Chain A
Amino acid sequence: MLEVIREPLTEAFFVRALWAVVLGGLTCACLGAYVVLRRMAFVSTALTHSILPGVVGAMLLGISPYLGALAAALLTAAGAAWLSARKGTSEDSAIGVMLSVMFAAGIAMMQLAHSWRDFTGLLFGSVVSVGPQDIAIIAVTAFVVLASLRILHKEMELASFDEEYARLLGAKPALLRAILLGLVALGAVACVRLVGALLTTALFVIPAALGVLLGRTLPQVMGWAVACALLGGIGGLYLSYYLAWMPSGAAIVLCCALPYLAARIFTPRR
């Protein structure tokens, strides 16, 4: 039994993938608590999908794919805010417009680059191919995100729970929302290697959804979300190691969903 756990650990690529999953899972689960509680799942989907045109555009321009992805995610957030600032366009539809426009632009650019096959990892994840440099980027991102959430914990909690009281105290909820969107964009860009642009939303939403089921305070929600993301991430890696046909990104998402489903079945209805 122990051999089953130990054998993959002798492979360098597997250990690197493990680091990526642990750091990325930690980041996404903590951010996800806010994404789920503030009902921002749709905007997080838009941000993660816009990584596609960002990375492809960066390849066409010959710059770092991380920079391109981050720029595209921030463009999506800013675009949605700008579109919904006018009367008559709800934030929901503004996000929908940006999401589809960015993704369509990405598909068009992929054709321009004439190399569909290069981008399957981008769409569906390729955690087993992360290099030391990717790990470093994920680690720095994880540190920035977690430190920001820690430092702004009380403000974020206040603004997420009672926006009006945050305004009354002068705690600037609009600024905090912009910071949170920026952090989600950062986290998404770092984690796109784990499960791919199409599924990164799952890392934000599924663990945090479990956390909301089981936690009674915000730190508890985050704690459960982290546990779920780590369990799912590590379990998914082992699953895809032993099942040759199983893609790692899909395995991670499915293994995250299992504890959520179990919790959903066994927790009493409110």
Chain B
Amino acid sequence: MSLIFPPWLQRVNDAPLELLPTLPYASVEKAPCQGIAVQATDLSASARPDGHLAFEQATFEIPCGCRAALIGPNGSGKSTVLRVLAGLIKPRLGKVQVLGSPPALGRSRVAYLSQRPTFTENFPLQLRRLVQMGTYAHHGWFEECHHGNQGVDRALDLMGLTDLADRPVHTLSGGQLQRGLLARATVQGAEILLLDEPFAALDQASRDIVEKFLFDQGHAFTVIMATHDPADSRRFDRILEIKNGAITTSHSCAGHGPHHHA
């Protein structure tokens, strides 16, 4: 049983907001990704502000449209690299550019999925609303989302979640949630996906859907993924290996993946 607000109350609810100015959270970025997506020069960073350095003086670059894997043993700093690129951690030393400017919070063009999402437990939120949160990147303060629902439906469909759209988020399995978060990143319109071990919680069916999405969509976006499954590496254009605080780049099997000639 649930209480639904009557339509007239909904209209009263919605009306005044249209009179308010919309202040975007994020700086508006329009130029499409061209050339280099991520460029790091002599980059050093640590997971915590006062912790030891996870990697030092790393220099690497990732071109636009590239599928890059970050590999290395547990605790080697894969997550730290992703969190620096997302703007969640400030680098200690060195320079890093994401789409031509330093990483910062509030950038709609960069999406980050952590290894374990830290949601508030038992929060009453349906999957559709979770995916809709991706549109907030384009709405900004004060504005309720009236439009963008088509994009939400398309993203749910793409991830095979249409039937689950009304399910509370806390009843979803790990794999369903992971797909929901990818759908949210799609709705956000991110050009760079920073994924921290996205396959860890997935069964084969979920994994097929996610792999199809990540690897068979032409070069619409750049993927940078932390993983430690060697079976994955065949599919990537570029492998960044973190070992003992150093990052080395290797170009693996260029031309083997199905998407390279697209």
Contacts and interface: CB of A to CB of B under 8 A. Distances in A.
B125 interface: yes
Interface string A212-223: 101111111101
A221 to B, nearest CB: 5
Interface in A175-226: 212, 214-221, 223-224
A69 B5 CA distance: 35
A220 B141 contact: no
B145 A154 contact: yes
A214 B17 contact: no
- What class of interface size applies to chain B in its complex with A? 35 or more
B120 A38 contact: yes
B205 interface: no
B133 A158 contact: yes
Interface in B123-138: 123-126, 129-130, 133, 136-137
Contacts of B4: 220
A164 B106 contact: no
Interface residues of A, number: 33
A216 B126 contact: yes
B112 interface: yes
Interface string B11-22: 001001100100
Nearest to B181: A165
A167 interface: yes
Identify whether the interface residues of A are mostly helix, strand, loop, or mixed: helix
Interface stretch (A24-32, A123-131, A145-153): A145-153
Interface in B99-146: 105-108, 110-112, 114, 117-120, 122-126, 129-130, 133, 136-137, 139, 141-145
A49 B134 CA distance: 39
A240 interface: no
B3 A171 contact: no
Interface in A112-163: 150-155, 157-158, 160-163
B168 A170 contact: no
A216 B4 CA distance: 10
B105 A167 contact: yes
Given A152-B142, A220-B3, A220-B124, A162 B26 contact: no
A214 B2 CA distance: 7
B124 A216 contact: yes
A212 B26 contact: no
B105 A170 contact: yes
B25 interface: yes
Contacts of A223: 3, 5
B137 A169 contact: yes
A253 B90 CA distance: 48
Given A151-B17, A169-B136, A216-B168, A37 B106 contact: no
Residue from A154, A214, A227 whose CB has the most chain B CB atoms within 10 Å: A154
Contact of A170 (B1, B25, B120, B144): B25
Nearest to B20: A151
A212 B123 CA distance: 8
A2 interface: no
A169 B124 CA distance: 21
Contacts of B108: 169
Given A168-B112, A171-B25, A214-B1, A151 B133 contact: no
A168 B114 CA distance: 11
A168 B105 contact: yes
B3 A169 contact: no
B2 A216 contact: yes
Contacts of B111: 168
What 5 pairs between A and B have smallest CB-CB spacing?
A170-B106, A170-B25, A223-B3, A161-B123, A170-B105
Given A38-B120, A161-B120, A171-B141, 14 more contacts: A155-B141, A157-B129, A160-B120, A161-B123, A161-B130, A163-B120, A164-B118, A167-B88, A168-B110, A169-B26, A171-B106, A171-B136, A216-B126, A224-B3
Interface of B: 1-5, 13, 16-17, 20, 25-26, 86-88, 105-108, 110-112, 114, 117-120, 122-126, 129-130, 133, 136-137, 139, 141-145, 168-169, 184
